[in-house]
Structure 1
Amino acid sequence: MGFADDHLIALVDEGLGNSAYLVDLGDGRALAVDVSRDLRAVHEVARSRGLTVAYAADTHLHADFLSGAVQLGHDQGTTVLASVAGHRAFPHRGLADGDEVDLGGLTLRALATPGHTDEHLSFLLLDGRRELGVFTGGSLIVNSAARTDLLGAERTEELARAQYRSLNRLTTLPDATAVWPTHGAGSFCSAPPGAERTTTIGAQKLHNPLLAAPDQDTFVQQLTGSLGSYPDYFDRLTEVNRRGPEILTASPVLATLDSGQVKALLADGGHVVDVRPAAEYAAGHIPGAVSIPLRGQFATWLGWLLPDSVPLVVVADDDQDLGEIVWQAYKIGYERLAGRLSGGMDAWIADGHAQATTAFVAADQAPAGPYVDVRQNSEYVAGHVPGAIHIELGDVAERVDDVPAGSIVACGHGERAMTAASLLERAGHGDLAVLKGGPGEFGAAHGVRLESGEGSSA
């Protein structure tokens, strides 16, 4: 068919740090690779090009989002392509190492590349005998490889050794072969995350430090030594993807709830998620609400910090995108969205209900300490306030007793710190302040030089 650059469209989820791909097969049909349950971008591109998604290939049983392949199969009759070793419990074409699929001019060849997961496949796209590119999912990623600890600490080293073999297998492809990973910048499946999203085999031979490891033992040490924490919800999604996410017959929407309904839901064990900007949350919020500002990382922190098994009530501004809230929740399996507080905080207050506030202070107004840094470990190590107590945001709820009274809670800008403060306030802390800004601003305002390396963890 003659494959041109514009036949491949990358669909980037900046929040989760992943890339899905749509390949225009040139005959009104398309191949989708590693698409999530939020299919809005897929449908938009397909409509603009007059395409029907004929095939949907999944490289592995994703741990960080629900696959959209089953939905495409229901909606468009799409053939789902996935590893036979994944034992998926829905209609699909199971592929083993070396199996090929005729796409009508192009060919897709399955390559077994275990490591990130046991059943992981990469998909090599060929035009005749010419290797155009390889969809590497969670195996080879830009200047790194995906993490190998998702199946438990007891298997991390075993899978890292499998990852070593898989990456070395991929490097036998011609140098000009494009590399199209799923995981990339911002993904907690990367180890560590990088900035670029696509590359070539040749570039990776030159620049990927893991491929420069002189032997397998060194590779394993480097890979496993770079692993940070990851969201709790990852552990729940693999089995959902194996069974197949529930089919949606219509786009989900947020119902409207009055303040009385919200109070009843809270009394029955529900949670309030306040998606407004941090400053608005600070100025006034429902007592006990968890602040998770609506931005690209909303799904990550929702899945990390709150259960998927209880009703969730949303507090949002009128100008915030309710569809974005819903789809970010649904793509990670959070479907118990009870609704949105109608009229927001104005209605809540007008109905006579109490609100809480949180101090949100600029660096020059912040107390000198204790300083609690809730950033990821890699950020903290790169530079932190001397004497800072380091508790990653994902660990705050389990370590509330490690936060001293009168602490200033900080991250890089203020959003994650406000989330941390909301969790601490739920646990009974009422004497906190949140820093507007990060360690650089605090250091400049207080005349202290930042330190690097490990510091205090409580």
Structure 2
Amino acid sequence: MSTVDLVPLVDDGLGNSAYLVDLGDGRALAVDVSLDLRGTWQAARRRGLTLAFAADTHLHADFVSGARQLAATEGTRVLASAAGNREFAHTGLREGDEVDLGGLRLRALATPGHTHEHLSFLLLDGDRPAGVFTGGSLLVGAAARTDLVSPEQTEALARRQYASLQRLAELPDELAVWPTHGAGSFCSAPPGAQRTSTIGAEKTHNPLLRAEDEDAFVTALLDSLGSFPPYFLRLPEHNRRGPAVLATDPALSSVDVAQVRALRADGAQVIDVRPVRQFAAGHIPGALSIPLRPAFASWLGWLADPERPLVVVRSDDQDPAEIVWQAVKIGCTNLSGELTGGMTAWTAADQPTTTTRLVDADEITREHVVDVRQDAEFTAGHIPGATHVELGALSDIADALPRTPTVVMCGHGERAMGAASLLELAGHRDLAVLEGGPDDWAETTGGSLEGGA
């Protein structure tokens, strides 16, 4: 195993890992950092390190790269694929190029598949390989998806992904594998996987590395592809052009009730980030519920209209900085501000509110049940007779769903409340949200779930 002084910086919400490598001389290398650099700066300053290098393995689809921000504010040297044609200052690398980090060296390995220009970075200590940053090529137990460029190129990129993984499998078995995408990422990492691995462990346990041949690999990879947030399709070009450099930390401005009313009249969308129970007890009619939690950024990028101004409603104990940083790191810059005083100010101004009923499992009788979890979750076990619509697809078919008493459910309630708010916006009434998930239903009622092994 590697003895390199490496600090993983895990973003549980996006399911990704960035890395900070202590180069041993007061400087550091950062790999695949997002624009939310708070954790990177904290880790570097805690160790007294300056961020000398920032390497990006690919034009990230699921977050805005922080490399350009580091270059502008810290003088960091950006290392990235020359084939990415980035429009800002960087050192463009090609297959076999090496960068001297001062004792350690970084060698570029062309590993296309997840994206055309994808590089992996082999970290060398002298002539000894110490580890490999695999980005979106070899993951723990998987390989990253290849359908983010265009449907017409998905299979061809899958075949290139096969060749890239075969190439990485030729590295020493004991070599550390440091992927970017991990459990929770919509870039195809399996749930529950470890964040890092070794080449040998992946050759033994990764089903895609154990595929019989290229065709079997392609079939397995393409069959594993699920849905992904639409903002994924916008960010590669955003990262290629170069994200705007932030002069100061982003912040939510305050807007009062009258300003919120005016913004809504001009087409603004209200994003209510309060917990499920608070939203249920009373919210602005037409508000979209996206509770603030680690997965907030993904669902904001999936459900909110990128062309409309967004007004945030939060509770007093929720951190506005966390809200805005999660938005900024996925390229969401259309936040008009937050409602001053929250729902207390709204109701004090005699503005209309609406509620959403919360129900326990034993309260579901003859209601129509809509399960908004991902396909794999639904297939693993669901309430008999439930209609399945993934949350990300709900807006497209909301008008086609029956307008009968409906209970919306997910795994815990957060996505279900988001779905209920979308259905309410589409004119559905008599909606309720199940507190809990299918396992709670089975335990409470003694019923048996459909699906599963």
TM-score, length of structure 2 as denominator length: 0.98
Q: Secondary structure of 2:92's partner?
A: strand
Please, which of 214, 217, 242 is the counterpart of residue 216 of structure 1? 214
**Is the contact made by 1:63 and 1:235 (CA closer than 8 Å) also made in structure 2?**
yes
Deviation track 1:87-125 (CA, whole Å, cap 9, x = no partner) reads 000000000000000000000000000000000000000
**Is the contact made by 1:178 and 1:199 (CA closer than 8 Å) also made in structure 2?**
yes
Change (3 A) 1:191 1:28: closer
Partner of 1:323: 321
Pair 1:276-2:270 in alignment? no
The amino acid across from 2:251 in the alignment is V
Q: Secondary structure of 1:279's partner?
A: helix
Partner of 1:361: 359
Deviation at 1:5, TM superposition (A): 4.2
Partner of 2:51: 53
Deviation at 1:369, TM superposition (A): 3.0
**Is the contact made by 1:107 and 1:128 (CA closer than 8 Å) also made in structure 2?**
yes
Partner of 1:298: 296
User: Partners of 1:265 and 1:131 in 2: how far apart?
Assistant: 56
The amino acid across from 1:283 in the alignment is A
Deviation at 1:448, TM superposition (A): 2.2
| Paired residues for 1:203-282 under 5 Å | 203-282=201-280
Q: Secondary structure of 1:163's partner?
A: helix
Partner of 2:169: 171
Pair 1:422-2:421 in alignment? yes
**Is the contact made by 1:80 and 1:91 (CA closer than 8 Å) also made in structure 2?**
yes
User: Partners of 1:110 and 1:444 in 2: how far apart?
Assistant: 52
Deviation at 1:366, TM superposition (A): 2.7
Partner of 1:374: 372
Partner of 1:432: 431
Deviation at 1:403, TM superposition (A): 2.6
**Is the contact made by 2:141 and 2:190 (CA closer than 8 Å) also made in structure 1?**
no
Q: Secondary structure of 2:260's partner?
A: helix
**Is the contact made by 2:182 and 2:190 (CA closer than 8 Å) also made in structure 1?**
no
User: Partners of 1:324 and 1:256 in 2: how far apart?
Assistant: 16
Deviation at 1:365, TM superposition (A): 2.0
Q: Secondary structure of 1:107's partner?
A: strand
Please, which of 305, 320, 327 is the counterpart of residue 307 of structure 1? 305
**Is the contact made by 2:141 and 2:189 (CA closer than 8 Å) also made in structure 1?**
no
**Is the contact made by 2:188 and 2:224 (CA closer than 8 Å) also made in structure 1?**
no
Mark the runs of 5 or more structure 2 residues left unpaired by the alignment.
none
Partner of 2:181: 183
Q: Secondary structure of 1:286's partner?
A: coil
Percent identity between the aligned chains? 64
User: Partners of 1:6 and 1:318 in 2: how far apart?
Assistant: 43
Partner of 1:396: 394
User: Partners of 1:446 and 1:97 in 2: how far apart?
Assistant: 59
Partner of 1:151: 149
**Is the contact made by 1:191 and 1:227 (CA closer than 8 Å) also made in structure 2?**
no
Q: Secondary structure of 1:126's partner?
A: strand
User: Partners of 2:418 and 2:162 in 1: how far apart?
Assistant: 38
Deviation at 1:193, TM superposition (A): 4.5
Count of aligned pairs: 452
The amino acid across from 2:35 in the alignment is R
Partner of 2:24: 26
User: Partners of 1:249 and 1:193 in 2: how far apart?
Assistant: 37
Partner of 2:200: 202
The amino acid across from 2:92 in the alignment is G
Deviation at 1:6, TM superposition (A): 6.6
Q: Secondary structure of 1:190's partner?
A: coil
The amino acid across from 1:452 in the alignment is G
Mark the runs of 5 or more structure 1 residues left unpaired by the alignment.
none
TM-score, length of structure 1 as denominator length: 0.97
Deviation at 1:440, TM superposition (A): 1.6
Change (3 A) 1:367 1:346: farther
The amino acid across from 1:175 in the alignment is D
Partner of 1:288: 286
Moved over 6 A (4+): none
Partner of 2:72: 74
Q: What is the RMSD computed on CA atoms of the aligned residues?
A: 1.3
The amino acid across from 1:122 in the alignment is S
